[in-house]
């Protein structure tokens, strides 16, 4: 394992020190995301939410203009850009990285030109041209695993060996980037909790999170408000899954995950503070 690579995430002009876990705050500018669709479609509302996320402790703001919830309908590339690019331009002067959650190569290219520092791709750079766009830039990139497409990924996900299949895909895509000259410390891996996995499979990903840490790249887990958490807690409303979301991410961090992607940055920041104080109690006054 390349521990130096795993403790630094190079994202354009930003170098994220991953010896301390980082919080990626979710900013969905969509009409139909599973838990906050429509809340921040208005630009002013989105900017206020971005400011709140930063105030609450987010180290990264992740802007998404296309819902990737199970069964989500697609929108045009132009509509996605109309939602995302004005926010990237408005936030790119901030002192934290701006990430764009997209699987469309054209959106990637335009977002990077507008000032984004990270591309977060649920398709894992499988679309034609995506790898090359990352290779031609200096951005950070998050490669996620998803079985199938958002429209059908939860129909009947099946794996012969979940951990091997997910890690093999992620490693293959990462190596493709490295062959294009992308340094390993620009690459982050996401096993894709909730994307083409059953409840049992999702909890296997959480229980075995250290399997992905051992690959040697930074690893991100995004479990915030996901339906698998509701399935085991009985919380049907995604916004009622705060406790389970924080708990799941705290477990992941204890297993070595360096980046957590969440809706509720303040609660996550507080939980990480308690964990850090517990782990480093000898340094307390």
Positions annotated as catalytic residues are 226, 261
Yes or no: say if 66 and 27 are a contact pair by the CB < 8 Å rule.
no
- 89 burial class (0-12, 13-18, 19+ CB within 10 angstroms)? middle
**The pair of three-digit structure tokens given for residue 232, joined into one six-digit string:** 């085991």
d(CA 91, CA 82): 15
Burial (CB count within 10 angstroms: exposed 0-12, middle 13-18, buried 19+), residue 274: exposed
Asked if 213 and 181 count as a contact pair (C-beta separation under 8 A), the reply is no
Buried b (16+ CB within 10 A) or exposed e, 153-182: bbeebeeeebeeebbebbbebbeebeeeeb
| 3-class SS of residue 266 | helix
Instruction: Note whether 200 and 194 are within 8 A (CB).
Output: no
Residue 209: how many other CB atoms lie within 10 Å: 20
Q: Where are the beta strands (DSSP E) in the chain?
A: 8-11, 14-17, 22-28, 60-64, 98-101, 118-121, 140-144, 187-190, 220-221, 259-262
Q: Pick the closest to residue 146 from 132, 126, 161 (CA basis).
A: 126
111/81 Cα distance (integer angstroms): 8
Alpha carbon distance 16, 141 (integer Å): 13
């Amino acid at each position: 394992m390349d521990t130096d690579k795993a403790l630094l995430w190079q994202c354009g002009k930003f170098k994220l020190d991953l010896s301390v876990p980082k919080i990626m705050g979710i900013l969905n500018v969509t009409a139909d995301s599973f838990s906050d669709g429509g809340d921040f479609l208005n630009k002013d509302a989105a900017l206020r939410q971005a400011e709140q996320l930063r105030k609450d402790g987010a180290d990264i703001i992740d802007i998404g203009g296309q819902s990737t919830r199970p069964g989500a309908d697609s929108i045009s590339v132009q509509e996605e850009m109309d939602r995302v690019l004005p926010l990237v331009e408005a936030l790119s002067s901030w002192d934290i990285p701006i990430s764009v959650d997209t699987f469309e190569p054209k959106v990637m290219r335009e977002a990077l030109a507008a000032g984004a520092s990270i591309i977060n791709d649920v398709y894992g750079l499988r679309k034609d041209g995506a790898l090359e766009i990352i290779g031609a830039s200096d951005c950070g990139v998050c490669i996620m695993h998803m079985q199938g497409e958002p429209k059908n990924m939860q129909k009947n996900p099946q794996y012969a060996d979940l951990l091997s299949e997910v890690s093999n895909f992620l490693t293959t895509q990462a190596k493709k980037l490295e062959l294009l000259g992308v340094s390993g410390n620009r690459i982050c891996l996401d096993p894709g909790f909730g994307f083409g996995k059953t409840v049992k499979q999702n909890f296997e990903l959480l229980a075995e999170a250290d399997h992905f840490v051992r690959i040697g790249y930074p690893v991100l887990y995004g479990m915030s408000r996901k339906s698998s958490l509701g399935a085991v807690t009985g919380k049907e409303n995604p916004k009622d899954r705060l406790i389970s979301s924080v708990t799941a991410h705290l477990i992941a961090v204890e297993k070595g995950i360096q980046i957590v992607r969440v809706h509720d940055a303040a609660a996550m920041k507080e939980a990480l503070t308690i964990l850090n104080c517990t782990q480093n109690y000898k340094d307390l006054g």
